[in-house]
Amino acid sequence: MDSAQYAELFLTESREHVSAMNHALLALEQAGDAGGVVAGDQVSAIFRAVHTVKGMSATMGYTAIADLSHQLESLLDRVRRGALQVSPQLMDLLFRSADTLEAAVEEAVQGRDAPPGTASLLDALRTFSRTSGGMTAIPAPTTGSVWSVEVPDGDGVGIRVRLVRDTPLRGVRAYLVVEAARRLGTVTAISPSIGQLQAEQFGDDFALRLVTDDVEGALAMLRSAGDVADAVLAESAPEMFDLLALEHAGPGLVPGGGSAGPRVQHHVRIDLRRLDALMNLIGELVITRGRLVQLAMAADDVALTETVAQASRLVGDLQDEIMQSRMVPVGQVFDRFPRLVRDVARTLEKQVAFTIEGTDIELDRSMLDEIGDPVMHLIRNALDHGVESPAVRVAAGKPPQGRLTLSAFRDRSAVVVRVEDDGRGIDRARVIARARERGLIHGNGADLTDDDVVKLITRAGFSTAERVTDISGRGVGLDVVVAGVRSLGGSVDVRSTPGRGTSVTMRLPLTLAIQRSLLARVGGETYALPLTHVSETVELTPETLQAVKGREVLVLREDVLPVLRLRELVGLPRSAQADPEQVVVLETADRRAALIVDDLTTQLEIVVKQFDGVRGGSTLFGGATILGDGAPALILDVSSLL
Q: How far is the CB of 234 from other proteins (least distance, A)?
A: 52
- Beta carbons of 604 and 519 less than 8 angstroms apart: yes
233 burial level (CB within 10 Å; 0-12, 13-18, 19+): middle
- Beta carbons of 502 and 423 less than 8 angstroms apart: yes
Residue 8: closest CA among 368, 373, 269:
269
Whole-number Cα distances in Å, 368 to 282, 289, 375, 390:
20, 29, 11, 34
How many residues are present in the chain?
A: 642
Angle at 522 between CA 518 and CA 528, to 5 degrees: 25
Instruction: Tell me whether residue 191 or residue 526 sits nearer to other proteins (CB atom).
Output: 526
Q: How far is the CB of 513 from other proteins (least distance, A)?
A: 14
Instruction: Tell me whether residue 220 or residue 631 sits nearer to other proteins (CB atom).
Output: 631
Q: How far is the CB of 323 from other proteins (least distance, A)?
A: 19
Q: How far is the CB of 597 from other proteins (least distance, A)?
A: 14
Instruction: Tell me whether residue 343 or residue 525 sits nearer to other proteins (CB atom).
Output: 525
- 592-597/559-565 β-pairing: parallel
Consecutive H or E run containing 54 = helix 40-60
Summarize as ranges the residues that interact with other proteins (CB under 8 A): 284, 287, 525, 569-571, 609-618, 620-621, 624, 626, 630-634
Contacts from 476-484 at CB under 8 Å and sequence distance 24+? 476/377, 477/381, 478/377, 478/378, 478/381, 478/504, 480/377, 481/374, 481/377, 481/378, 482/458, 484/370, 484/373, 484/374
Instruction: Tell me whether residue 240 or residue 287 sits nearer to other proteins (CB atom).
Output: 287
Consecutive H or E run containing 84 = none
Q: How far is the CB of 445 from other proteins (least distance, A)?
A: 31
Instruction: Tell me whether residue 29 or residue 637 sits nearer to other proteins (CB atom).
Output: 637
Instruction: Tell me whether residue 541 or residue 602 sits nearer to other proteins (CB atom).
Output: 602
Instruction: Tell me whether residue 164 or residue 620 sits nearer to other proteins (CB atom).
Output: 620
Q: How far is the CB of 530 from other proteins (least distance, A)?
A: 17
Half-sphere exposure of 421 (CA within 13 A, CB side): 26
* SS3 state of residue 417: strand
- 514-522/525-530 β-pairing: antiparallel
Q: How far is the CB of 533 from other proteins (least distance, A)?
A: 19
The string of DSSP letters for 320-381 reads HHHHHHTEEETHHHHTTHHHHHHHHHHHHT--EEEEEE-TT-EEEHHHHHHHHHHHHHHHHH
Q: How far is the CB of 284 from other proteins (least distance, A)?
A: 6
Instruction: Tell me whether residue 31 or residue 624 sits nearer to other proteins (CB atom).
Output: 624
Angle at 341 between CA 336 and CA 346, to 5 degrees: 135
Q: How far is the CB of 639 from other proteins (least distance, A)?
A: 18
Sign of torsion over alpha carbons 219, 221, 222, 227: positive
Instruction: Tell me whether residue 499 or residue 630 sits nearer to other proteins (CB atom).
Output: 630
Instruction: Tell me whether residue 374 or residue 623 sits nearer to other proteins (CB atom).
Output: 623
The one-letter amino acid at 106: E
Consecutive H or E run containing 274 = helix 272-299
Instruction: Tell me whether residue 215 or residue 293 sits nearer to other proteins (CB atom).
Output: 293
- Beta carbons of 291 and 631 less than 8 angstroms apart: no
Q: Cα Rg for the chain, rounded, in angstroms?
A: 32
Q: How far is the CB of 488 from other proteins (least distance, A)?
A: 20
Instruction: Tell me whether residue 94 or residue 522 sits nearer to other proteins (CB atom).
Output: 522
- Beta carbons of 164 and 229 less than 8 angstroms apart: yes
316 burial level (CB within 10 Å; 0-12, 13-18, 19+): middle
Q: How far is the CB of 595 from other proteins (least distance, A)?
A: 14
Q: How far is the CB of 529 from other proteins (least distance, A)?
A: 15
Residue 180: closest CA among 136, 222, 128:
222
Q: How far is the CB of 619 from other proteins (least distance, A)?
A: 8
Instruction: Tell me whether residue 573 or residue 616 sits nearer to other proteins (CB atom).
Output: 616
CA atoms of 312 and 304, how far apart (whole Å): 12
